[in-house]
Amino acid sequence: MDRKIVGKRPTFRPARKGPNFYWIMILLALIMTGIWVLLKIERGEIKSPLEPTPTPTRVAESYLMEAQAYSENLTIPATPPSAMMCLPLMTRLRLTRKP
């Protein structure tokens, strides 16, 4: 506390620090990276993340139809449930399919 209190209205706030060099470098790097990405998108070297996918994706109804077809081929397993938990997944699927 070696500051002198002078003037009509002395301030009791701590002295203001200068700009942090590291923050300025980080912000400058982020700005430069953003400009670089925008230029690459403009040239077509990078595709915009907002563009639709080039191949069509599946509709929800196809997932529903696949699930219904799969559930129609399953039966209740003959082995007790406690034994089913010990079996690997592929073995469990083979046991539950209809012949």
Task: Decide which of 21 and 96 is more confident.
Answer: 21
Task: Decide which of 16 and 68 is more confident.
Answer: 68
Mean pLDDT of the 3-18 span: 71
Please name the residues in contact with 37: beta carbons below 8 A apart, sequence gap of 6 or more.
46
pTM of the entire structure? 0.41
What long-range pairs does 73-82 form, CB within 8 A, spacing at least 24?
Answer: 73/97, 73/98, 74/98
Alpha-carbon dihedral of residues 24, 25, 31, 36, nearest 10 degrees? 170
What 3-state DSSP class applies to 97? strand
Radius of gyration of the chain (CA): 33
Do 13 and 3 meet the contact criterion of CB atoms below 8 Å apart?
Answer: no
pLDDT tens for 46-93 read 887 788 777 777 788 888 888 888 777 765 555 555 555 555 655 555
pLDDT tens for 21-30 read 999 999 999 9
